[in-house]
Amino acid sequence: MQRRREAQSLRELLLELARARGGAGAETPVARLVTKLAAPWVDACHRDQLGNLWLIRRPRREAAGPRIMLAAHMDEIGWLVSSIEDGGFLRLRPLGGPDVATYLGHEVLVENREGRLFPGIVGTKPPHITRADEYRRFPEAEALFVDVGLSEAEVRQHIQVGDIVYPAVEPWELGEGRITAKSLDNRASVATVLWALRLLQDRDTAAEVVAVATVQEELGMRGARVAATSIEPDLAIALDVGFGLQPGVDRWTGIRLGKGPALTVGPNIHPGLRQALLDTARRIRVETQVEVAAGSTGTDAWLIQVAGRGIPTALLSLPLRYMHSAVELVDVGDLEETARLLAEFIVNAGPEWRRTRPRWLTGGEGAAAGIAAAAVHQDGTGKSADEAGDAGKAGEEGDAAEHPAEDPSADRSARIAAGLARIDLDAAGHELARRLVAHLAELSELRGPSGAEAPVREWLLDHLPREVDEVFIDSMGNLLVARGLGRPGPRVMVDAHMDEVGLIVQGVDDDGLLRIDQIGGIDPRVLPAQRVLVGPRALPGVIGVKPIHLRKGEERSRAPQYENLYVDIGAKDKDAAEKLVQPGETITFATRFELIGNGLVKGKALDDRGGCAILLELLAEDWPFPFFAAFTVQEEVGLRGAQVAAEEILPDVGLALETTICADLPDVPGHGQATHLWGGPAISFQDRASVADRELVELIEKVAAREGIPWQWRRALGGGNDAGAIQQRAGGARTCSISIPCRYIHTPACLLSVVDMVNTYRLARAFLRALATEWPRS
């Protein structure tokens, strides 16, 4: 009976929030309501400069617990009045992402600057004069108009361009415990957070909770990043709505109403935090679901994760049907169970969740810091501080013989040695090539798609040189290594990303086949009939293809769509497959590394394991300035790791070591080929992510000429790399890139030249040496 009364109160809370109007950028009425509702359960309320509402609950005991940020956006979609036309009709433009298909003929309310409401109708032509072709499609957004039934003069007197138009609906209760209303995206989550605070009212907690009703999520998650940067929480949990199962929403995308919240999995989610929430849910018997996000979750979590120095972030999704319409629908039971989960997790969150900072930012630059990993709850597979220290001691002797690739092949090793012997290099070049290729052979065959880079990070930890000052693993999983702390000169950050493109399991169908989505940018045309490895067990599988005999007409030449692709692991049915594979597990290509042809290496993930091999070699040298090696994560899904790494390092100069487009192919005209194999390292002056610092580029040209190192321009503006993230973070840093040309980049089998790789190392080394005396200070 008590639980029933509580659910009734939560229902009333949700109804009140759903009635409020608060379009993106105009959230003040909702903020006032939330402040009033939250007052009994929090210690303080605060609105920041952007309009985010902070609800602060202070710790209830002395033990130093974590600062936990809960985020749920309070803004809603709608329309803006874009013009007033003859006759007093109002033209509209979208505010957020409203669906034209849900507005024709609907009643609306126009709210003016004084808060006065004017009822109106989204007009349509009578069917008697509507052409047949018009019936077959919805009009463009610009064609919508609102009729408020006033004369043009009266409209101009009371309504202005920029006033907001909302659906004119009241919340309804449907069936048992289900509510339909406008703006349940995301007032349902705001109600859930408020209810969690109510459940905490009499609980003893060590954590400080800052629950934020964020603004402008519908315009690009703007409020969440501002709030997270200011709050600097130890961890964050975002709440939003997910696509509820309904006709037209498949089971790979949708989640079921009445079955509890979905715990999202993917690069945007901190694995350790997700696991802690899952463990809590199991302990208190809260039913949960799985939601898979191969890249952006499209929620506040996306920008919270990379705010400031990075924040361990999780996402709880409430099932919601008919998203971005006036009849959104939720099950109140899902909200109640999610609130219970949040409250219980917060009660048990202790000091183990508090994050540390690297010693180079806390006054320890001059000390003999040694090696220590400093990540909390990274992913359950990363090394502890002690393990990282032991790994560093072994790194001095680490080579391909000591750390063989999985399932090593003596024949392949012999072929690689024979191929290297034929390459035209001096003795020093041959020895350098041997080390680089030995490391690249192992790195290439490690499995590390964006968000799942732990195997690559562990291998690098095992191969670090002894003489480093500090090792730090940040909240994103970046591996940051410092040498020369306390020395004069510029702080130099050299970056190479650990992640690779890959696939992710969305779910298992009745036949035991795995439905998949892409991580990073992969041309779907290269996928049919490929061999792959699935999940942490590296299960062998194949990407199925319909027999050519059964493909007719255009079907033979039409490119596949990801929703039609699947991986076959040989399971006889769904039950058998689900014992082996779970949604959210990653998939990589099963390519074996080889040295082929005229000094070329072939393998997967050469973007950017080639850069990692070079950076590891550079890290073995002593530098006259503070040198920071950043082995970053999630480059392939938006340069995300480098954003956080730059905030931890605060560099003056950033150098991205990359592999880049090489399109010296028969069907590509000369001006579009970007780079050529055997043409030397590629220098970029601009791409989609950044414009290289001109003085740094000139210094690279100067040292290349002085050292006799061949190089080429990267003659393409497409794509981008971590230099773009480094350049824009940490107050700005002067950046440039040096890249290895790579054929067939982002495919299962890439090619690069060993000579290009050697010259890329030599040019990067010469450039960095020149920085000590010649770096541009203007």
Which active-site residues does the annotation give? 635
The Cα 142–Cα 641 span in angstroms is: 39
Q: Which helix (H) or strand (E) holds 320?
A: strand 313-320
Please choose, from the candidates 23, 389, 55, the residue with its C-alpha nearest in 3D space to the C-alpha of residue 195.
55
- Three-class DSSP category at 512: coil
Please state, in angstroms and rounded to a whole number, the distance separating the CA atoms of residues 239 and 341: 12
Name 81's Cβ contacts closer than 8 Å, sequence gap at least 6. Answer: 90, 91, 92, 110, 146, 159, 160, 161, 162, 163, 164, 165
Phi and psi at residue 63, to the nearest 5°: -55, 135
Is 618 within 8 Å of 656 (Cβ atoms)? Answer: no
Count CB atoms within 10 A of the CB of residue 463. Answer: 25
Instruction: Show the CA angle centred on residue 755, arms to residues 752 and 756, nearest 5°.
Output: 55
Task: Give ∠ CA 146-152-156 in degrees, rounded to 5.
Answer: 90
Contact 352, 361 (CB under 8 A): no
* Closest by Cα among 634, 656, 652 to 644: 634
Which residue shows structure tokens 């183990």?
352
Token pair for 510: 């009745």
23 contacts 181 by C-beta, under 8 angstroms: no
Strands (E), 509-593: 514-519, 531-534, 539-543, 566-568, 586-589
- Strand ranges of the sheet holding 178-181, from the earlier edge strand across to the other edge: 172-174, 178-181, 328-331
Pairing verdict, β 78-84 and 164-167: antiparallel
Q: Look up residue 128 and give its DSSP letter.
A: G
Q: Can you tell me the distance from the alpha carbon of 370 to that of 391, in angstroms, rounded to the nearest whole number?
A: 12
Contact (CB, 8 A) for 319 and 329 = no
Q: Nearest 5 degrees, angle CA 561-CA 449-CA 686?
A: 85
Residues 660 and 685: their CA atoms lie apart, in Å, by: 13
Query: Which tokens belong to 109?
Result: 């309310």
Contact 185, 14 (CB under 8 A): no
Backbone φ and ψ for 600, nearest 5 degrees, come out as -105, 145
- Helix intervals (H) in 677-719: 694-707
**Residue 750 and residue 593: Cα distance in Å, rounded?**
10
Q: Which of 265, 304, 322 is nearest to 288 (CA)?
A: 265
User: How many CB atoms neighbour CB 236 within 10 A?
Assistant: 28
Please give the structure tokens belonging to residue 73.
């956006």
Instruction: Please say whether the beta carbons of 376 and 354 come within 8 A.
Output: yes
With beta carbons less than 8 A apart as the criterion, state whether 103 and 122 touch.
yes
Whether 378 and 272 have beta carbons less than 8 Å apart is answered as yes
Amino acid at 217: E
Q: From the CA atom positions of the chain, what is the Rg in Å?
A: 28
Helix, strand or coil for residue 337? helix
| Residues linked to residue 342 through DSSP beta bridges, in sequence order | none
Residue with tokens 């490119």: 559
Residue-wise over 44-64: b if at least 16 C-beta within 10 A, else e? Answer: ebebbebbbbbbbbebeeeee
CA-closest candidate to residue 659, choices 747, 534, 556: 747
